[in-house]
């Protein structure tokens, strides 16, 4: 009888320890996964910028789009916020390396204002707060989950 009690307590402690260890490590894994996605996105953006700048190096006097700055207001999971940023960056990445005078700000506004994005099975409504176009395109958006 004592062996069964000891064995059951040991198994209960072992399972509880595994559950707690999984809880602590899942947070670390989520953080590392998020960092990997951000670094991958940054690397791809830098490669695209480098390619475009080398192609347009001849036109040094003309102001070019050099970078994208995406500001997102979203009260929710940071992984979803990162997915929203990747989605917006996907649409704007073609503008890097182009002349500032070629950029149509109204078109960018119309592309993103009141847009519904499907992210991780949720519908997100994007509203543009402001858009600044110079050598760095800055776009600020507010995202809300559509009920």
Confidence bin at 139 (pLDDT 50/70/90): very high
The Cα–Cα gap between 105 and 26 comes to: 42
Supply the range of the domain harboring residue 79: 2-145
Neighbouring residues of 10: CB distance < 8 A, sequence distance ≥ 6: none
pLDDT tens readout for residues 11-62: 888 888 888 888 878 878 888 888 899 889 888 888 887 777 767 655 566 7
pLDDT tens readout for residues 94-120: 888 788 888 888 999 999 999 998 888
pTM, two decimal places: 0.64
Of the candidates 134, 85, 127, 94, the residue with the CA atom closest to the CA atom of residue 110 = 127
pLDDT of residue 72: 93
| Residue 105 CA to its chain's centroid (Å) | 22
Dihedrals φ, ψ of 71, to 5°? -110, 125
pLDDT tens readout for residues 50-100: 777 767 655 566 777 888 999 999 988 888 898 999 999 999 988 887 888
């Amino acid at each position: 009888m004592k062996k069964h009690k000891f064995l059951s307590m040991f198994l209960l402690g072992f399972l509880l320890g595994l559950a707690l260890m999984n809880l602590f490590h899942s947070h670390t894994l989520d953080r590392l996964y998020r960092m990997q996605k951000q670094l991958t996105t940054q690397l791809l953006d830098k490669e695209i910028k480098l390619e475009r700048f080398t192609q347009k190096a001849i036109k040094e006097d003309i102001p070019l789009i050099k970078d994208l700055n995406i500001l997102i207001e979203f009260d929710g999971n940071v992984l979803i916020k990162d997915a929203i940023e990747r989605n917006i960056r996907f649409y704007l990445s073609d503008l890097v390396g182009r002349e500032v005078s070629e950029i149509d700000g109204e078109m960018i506004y119309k592309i993103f204002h009141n847009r519904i994005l499907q992210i991780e099975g949720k519908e997100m409504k994007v509203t543009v707060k402001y858009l600044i176009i110079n050598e760095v395109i800055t776009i600020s958006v507010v995202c809300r989950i559509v009920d």
